Amino acid sequence: MSTTLDAPAEFRRVTAASPVVAIVGATGAVGVELLGCLEARGFPLSRLKLLASPRSAGKTMHFRGKDIGVEALDDNSFEGVDIALFSAGSGISKRYAAAAVKAGAVVVDNSSAFRMDPEVPLVVPEVNAAALAQHRGIVANPNCVAAIATVALAPLHRAHPIRRLQAATYQAASGAGAAAMEELRLSTAASLQGESFEPKVLPHPYAFNLFSHNAEMDEASGYNGEETKVIAETRRILGAAELPIGITCIRVPVLRAHAMALTVEFDEVVSVEEARRLLEAAPGLRLVDDRARNHFPMPSEASGQDDVLVGRLRTDLGDPSGRSLAMFVAGDQLLKGAALNAVQIAERLLSGR
Amino acid sequence: MSTTLDAPAEFRRVTAASPVVAIVGATGAVGVELLGCLEARGFPLSRLKLLASPRSAGKTMHFRGKDIGVEALDDNSFEGVDIALFSAGSGISKRYAAAAVKAGAVVVDNSSAFRMDPEVPLVVPEVNAAALAQHRGIVANPNCVAAIATVALAPLHRAHPIRRLQAATYQAASGAGAAAMEELRLSTAASLQGESFEPKVLPHPYAFNLFSHNAEMDEASGYNGEETKVIAETRRILGAAELPIGITCIRVPVLRAHAMALTVEFDEVVSVEEARRLLEAAPGLRLVDDRARNHFPMPSEASGQDDVLVGRLRTDLGDPSGRSLAMFVAGDQLLKGAALNAVQIAERLLSGR
């Protein structure tokens, strides 16, 4: 099958045996992880092209034992590129994705630019890989919370449609980029030494502190942009357009793995045992649910791991009907929440599955 | 009125003009704050007696410009004491509270020993001070999350009975004592220097990490002891015996203020504006709800403050009926969550109001 853009329902696979892959935003926190995932997973690429802002051009990055120079992104960057992994913010995606598609590449975009575009599939491979068949050159990689949450929710939702979801998040610094991670380290070091620290990257002090997510606030509804994204994207990925979702997104002083408390209501009573079985059998998940040892999902154990951790499964005492389950989830924001999911999408584009 | 124990419904006030106050567990994290609250609030005591384990006896602590020696607690410690503030764990309270009452003192107990005893009122003065009238020598000070949450919930509950509550907590190190706070500092310093650290006080690594609350787990229900306490105590303080409460208690790497995401369901639609008015007018609360500046309750601003901070008020999108509100609350675990509330109870015992 050849690479074409014509028929809407056609699955435009990447057919090069050893595709050329470009990373846009290679020097960012997610860019670094994209390199790592491509290498760790033995992604069958013939050439890796690293693109970034002119400021970062000229740097070199290490990949498969070689140094690769970072080039400045421009309209001609995508010639000969089969897969372009974008991770440089919405503005860059909106500006350059069309050029990449025009040059023949399939774009996997980690920004929010196209996530709600009906012509762009929003994909978590374990959950809705079939949506890839609709792509027309661009595939959107979801918000980190939505990606991590849906891996844990989908196995339950498939067996027993979820009717209502309540979430409170515990989000790591990495979601705000490498500079936020460094601000967490520096401000914490200052605090331990009794020194003052002026936050530059995040709007509030971060050392031993937490705060409502720093995404833009919709003043009318009182929900911030992070919460709005998670609601819309979770619905889209699960194929549950009307699912009521209540959510509070909080930034906590953790470096790179997100956690979340989820409460899920079904139409009927779903036993903890059945939920455990469903989650245990599901791809991309690891059940960490040891009541005797008080061992449940933690950012420290999710960091650097491909699998999303799920546990603390129990019948929710807040629902007198007994039809709700509570659980706690942790996943690496930079991996399943970003780079890993993008590379998994790219793998599916190659295999056509 | 004299201090008596006889009639069950009688309000046994402390009538000494300048009572003798004892602190049991004076050298602990809460004990230190009890001294601070008594001093800051100008509590009209004639003498302060500091009691602790034999290990701490002989230390001195500073109060109103003087050094006071710490004495070893024994059965005779309460002679002449009018008010005994206990904060040395359930075991000590169970062992010594009766001796204190027998010696004529009123006990304000910060442990969980008597909180669910129907003969012992469980009191948050802003919420249910009237319950003090039932005391027979012991008044229980609630669990820190229950105390902080009920200050924020009661003004809404009085105007519109709460029908369901969902909570996710972000709990500070201080709830596990001074040693846990120190472990958070030491393990974080080690982490920043790339050194390993073996947790001693808490069961899991704490630096830049979070974990399910370390209270004992009920293996049958999957709820831990902290969650069970918050559920039972919140119901008791609000006078809502059957209120369905779902809760996930999480320990976060914050030093001394607890935060919580609360979702509250009513029988009818309650507007955000009305909720704001009710909370703004309520004692012990400060509304921090600035959507334009993305400024909401944070542990850093709640620490060292008497008031509980409440904000991020919004209509919960997880409830299609529109009858639920979401909010975020932060309060100093050592103050309103422990020492301050105990001293406020003692003040009511003096004033008889």
Residues A276 and A317 in one domain: yes
Residue A258 designated active-site = yes
Please list every residue in chain B whose beta carbon sits closer than 8 Å to the beta carbon of residue A192.
185, 188-189, 192
Residues A309 and A181 in one domain: yes
Residues A151 and A241 in one domain: yes
How distant is the Cα of B37 from the closest Cα of chain A, in angstroms?
Answer: 24
C-alpha pair distances (Å), A288 with each of A256, A292, A293, B88: 19, 12, 11, 34
Tell me whether residue B242 is in a domain.
yes
pLDDT of residue B91: 98
* B333 is known to lie in a ligand binding site: yes
- pLDDT surpasses 50 at A148: yes
Residues A218 and A259 in one domain: yes
Q: What distance in Å separates the CA atoms of residue A109 and residue A100, rounded to the nearest whole number?
A: 11
* A171 is known to lie in a ligand binding site: yes
- The structure tokens listed for B81 are 């004491």
Identify which of A313, A311, A312, A263 has the alpha carbon closest to the alpha carbon of residue A287. Answer: A311
Q: Do A246 and B263 touch (CB under 8 A)?
A: yes
> What CATH number does residue B138 fall under?
3.40.50.720
User: How confident is residue A15, by pLDDT bands cut at 50, 70 and 90?
Assistant: confident
Residues B177 and B152 in one domain: yes
> Looking at chain A, which residue has its C-alpha nearest residue B265?
A318
- The structure tokens listed for A257 are 């793995």
Q: What is the pLDDT of residues B37-74, one digit of tens each?
A: 999 999 999 999 999 999 999 999 999 999 999 999 99
Q: Which amino acid is at A45?
A: L
Average pLDDT score over chain A: 95
Q: Which residues is B258 bridged to in the sheet?
A: B331
Residues A293 and A175 in one domain: yes
Identify which of A221, A223, A318 has the alpha carbon closest to the alpha carbon of residue A261. Answer: A318
Residues B210 and B64 in one domain: no
Residues A200 and A293 in one domain: yes
Residues A32 and A93 in one domain: yes
Q: Do A224 and B294 touch (CB under 8 A)?
A: yes
> Looking at chain A, which residue has its C-alpha nearest residue B303?
A209
- pLDDT surpasses 80 at A352: no
* B239 is known to lie in a ligand binding site: no
Residue A144 designated active-site = yes
* B337 is known to lie in a ligand binding site: no
Q: Do A318 and B247 touch (CB under 8 A)?
A: yes
Mean pLDDT of A189-200: 98
Length of chain B: 353
Torsion of CA A264, A270, A274, A279, to 10 degrees: -10
Tell me whether residue B191 is in a domain.
yes
Angle at alpha carbon of residue A165, lines to A164 and A166, rounded to 5°:
130
How distant is the Cα of A56 from the closest Cα of chain B, in angstroms?
Answer: 27
> What CATH number does residue A269 fall under?
3.30.360.10
Residues A287 and A263 in one domain: yes
Q: What distance in Å separates the CA atoms of residue A134 and residue A117, rounded to the nearest whole number?
A: 12
Tell me whether residue A38 is in a domain.
yes
Q: Which residues is B71 bridged to in the sheet?
A: B51
pLDDT of residue A42: 97
Tell me whether residue B12 is in a domain.
no
What parts of chain B have a pLDDT lower than 70? 1-12, 353
pLDDT of residue B4: 35
- The structure tokens listed for B13 are 């006030």
The full 3-state SS of chain B, as one line of letters, equals CCCCCCCCCCCCCCCCCCCEEEEECCCCHHHHHHHHHHHHCCCCCCEEEEEECCCCCCCEEEECCEEEEEEECCCCCCCCCCEEEECCCHHHHHHHHHHHHHCCCEEEECCCCCCCCCCCCECCHHHHHHHHHHCCCEEECCCHHHHHHHHHHHHHHHHCCEEEEEEEEEECHHHHCHHHHHHHHHHHHHHHCCCCCCCCCCCCCCCCCCEECCCCECCCCCCEHHHHHHHHHHHHHHCCCCCCEEEECEECCCCCEEEEEEEEEECCCCCHHHHHHHHHCCCCEEECCECCCCECCCHHHHCCCCCEEEEEEEECCCCCCCCEEEEEEEEECCHHHHHHHHHHHHHHHHHCC
Domain that holds residue A68: 20-142+338-351
Partner residue facing A222 (CB), from B188, B203, B313: B313
Partner residue facing B222 (CB), from A164, A291, A324: A291
Tell me whether residue A2 is in a domain.
no
Count of domains forming chain B: 2
Q: What is the pLDDT of residues A89-122, one digit of tens each?
A: 999 999 999 999 999 999 999 999 999 999 999 9
Tell me whether residue B80 is in a domain.
yes
Partner residue facing A210 (CB), from B188, B259, B316: B259
Taking the CB of residue B123, how many other CB atoms lie within 10 A of it? Answer: 28
Q: What distance in Å separates the CA atoms of residue A112 and residue A93, rounded to the nearest whole number?
A: 9
Q: What is the pLDDT of residues A33-76, one digit of tens each?
A: 999 999 999 999 999 999 999 999 999 999 999 999 999 999 99
- pLDDT surpasses 70 at A11: no
Residues A95 and A164 in one domain: no
Tell me whether residue A4 is in a domain.
no
Burial class (CB in 10 A: 0-12, 13-18, 19+), A283: exposed
Tell me whether residue B4 is in a domain.
no
The number of CA neighbours under 13 Å toward the Cβ of B353 is 2
Residues A173 and A152 in one domain: yes
In the set A144, A160, A213, A249, the catalytic residue is: A144
B266 close to B163: Cβ distance less than 8 angstroms: yes
Residues 6+ apart with CB under 8 A from A220: none
Please list every residue in chain B whose beta carbon sits closer than 8 Å to the beta carbon of residue A271.
none
A331 close to A73: Cβ distance less than 8 angstroms: no
Q: What is the pLDDT of residues A25-35, one digit of tens each?
A: 999 999 999 99
